[in-house]
Chain A
């Protein structure tokens, strides 16, 4: 019980420290501005129906700015404790290093949860308002009622949050042995890029004729998560994905986050601070 309490206090402090960072305010503000402003960008939309375009902008903002927030928040909040020597003070008390890592991750997770929930609710409000206008202007197009699957938007937001948790865990893993914040943040962005290009690498190594290349490629590729699967609910008109698919994505995300977190604890435990 005391362990959970200590982790909770560390997470709360991490969240409070994050709330004071101006960089995070800027990232959150940009994401909100983009979702709200998407209505005025629709003149540049050619291919997709308008509501789909708005949803793309909203989920894109959540994914992109959320990733920036996950990486910078994890790197900055972790190293801030080390540089200001607060970590030494905390760890001198009966606080284990594993609790420190878990507290940091939960704090960043809370920050990301707030970001995703707020942005998802804003996106739903924007979509609802525009859909209501369109229903008045084009009643024949909405004979069967509303077209936007709002539960799908919420689910897409939840899976984005899970993706950001995985990204934050991996950034924390790098930070646990890295010597500088800059390195951790750059590595975080590299992991983000690799994760989004994973499906190309998967296809490339699987097409290889050589079994050795397939095995080696598979091992290297598997060290990084693939982020494309977290977009399984992004299709606004595709309906909700199957429950088994959602369960797989959740298990996959929690699996990677858990392993990265365990390794971060192991690595931080051996670090001299």
Chain B
């Protein structure tokens, strides 16, 4: 009889699966798939998160454990816990941003320190690139729920700029950060700087010229005066004739 009950449940569930699947798919789009590291001792707390509740508090407890691994400069533990925390609770951008920083900067520094003292510059660059790639791939997993987060795009841009020296990518990411809801003013300025570093000063100038009129003068964060200074620098660098120079409107 148990087999018959199982069969009926299976058949009925098959029909009901079509009802629930669109909702499950929507939840998966909102929250990346839970990936557990099978070799890792995750402790009983993870069971609480798996059983449907306490995702936030369990992720906080795991974040504390991550700090402990980070303090010991335990590369494997830090890598695994960084991923586990965001697997358990992918909603806070804080975990993604700080996890990416650990992977991009701290793990790179530990790997360099752990190598031979006379590690050549190309080997160091290789490590920086590998860690930046790992951090950016990690941040890619955040996109389903943090695609419009200015802070996540800023972090992506900073890693591209500081670790990869990929100015084109940095320019693109800073622009995405500026265009995101609540995007900070400095993202727009950094977009221009990255364009300049990428050897595209004309585009940087055009960007700042179209940006400047919209900057509020009474907001220090907008730094309208600094933007005007940079416009002048670029005009001077590009030899823009005085007649064609940007003229700010009186506000």
Contact = CB atoms under 8 A, between A and B. Distances in A.
B57 A44 contact: yes
A68 to B, nearest CB: 10
A248 B19 contact: yes
Contact of B56 (A52, A67, A229): A52
Given A238-B30, A267-B1, A259 B12 contact: yes
Contacts, number: 160
B57 A226 contact: no
Nearest to A44: B60
A106 interface: no
Interface in B4-21: 5-6, 8-17, 19-20
B57 A60 contact: yes
Contact of A64 (B6, B13, B54, B63): B54
Among B26, B53, B91, chain A packs the most CB atoms within 10 A around the CB of B53
Interface in A216-273: 218-232, 235, 238, 241, 245, 248-249, 251-252, 255-256, 259-260, 263, 266-267, 270
Nearest to B67: A46
A44 B19 CA distance: 39
Given A44-B61, A64-B48, A263-B5, A248 B53 contact: no
Contact of B53 (A64, A193, A235, A259): A64
A61 interface: yes
Contacts of B17: 218, 222
Contacts of A222: 9-14, 16-17
Contacts of B50: 193, 196-197
A56 B23 contact: no
A203 B33 contact: yes
Among B13, B61, B92, chain A packs the most CB atoms within 10 A around the CB of B13
A238 B146 CA distance: 12
B119 interface: no
Contacts of B216: none
Interface string A138-180: 0000000000000000000000000100000000010001000
Interface string A22-58: 0000000000000000000100111110001100110
A228 B19 contact: no
A255 B12 contact: yes
Among B48, B60, B94, chain A packs the most CB atoms within 10 A around the CB of B60
Contacts of A18: none
A64 B19 contact: no
Given A200-B34, A270-B1, A48 B9 contact: no
B2 A177 contact: yes
Given A219-B14, A222-B17, A235-B30, A199 B24 contact: yes
A220 B3 CA distance: 12
B24 A226 contact: yes
Contact of A223 (B9, B61, B92): B9
B64 interface: yes
B84 interface: no
Contacts of A267: 1, 5
B34 A56 contact: no
A249 B26 CA distance: 12
B218 to A, nearest CB: 16
A191 B89 CA distance: 23
A60 B48 contact: yes
A228 B27 contact: yes
Interface residues of A, number: 59
Contacts of A53: 56-57, 60
B57 A56 contact: yes
Interface string B81-95: 000010001011011
B23 A45 contact: no
A104 B55 CA distance: 32
A47 B5 contact: no
Contacts of B48: 60, 64
Contacts of B125: none
B136 to A, nearest CB: 20
Nearest to A54: B56
Interface of B: 1-2, 5-6, 8-17, 19-20, 22-24, 26-28, 30, 33-34, 48, 50-57, 59-61, 63-64, 85, 89, 91-92, 94-95
Given A60-B48, A60-B53, 11 more contacts: A45-B57, A63-B53, A67-B51, A67-B52, A219-B11, A222-B10, A224-B9, A226-B24, A229-B23, A235-B91, A245-B22
14 contacts: A47-B60, A47-B91, A53-B60, A196-B50, A199-B34, A222-B9, A228-B24, A235-B91, A248-B20, A252-B19, A252-B23, A256-B16, A259-B12, A263-B9
The 7 closest A-B pairs by CB, nearest first: A60-B53, A47-B92, A222-B13, A56-B56, A60-B54, A63-B53, A252-B20
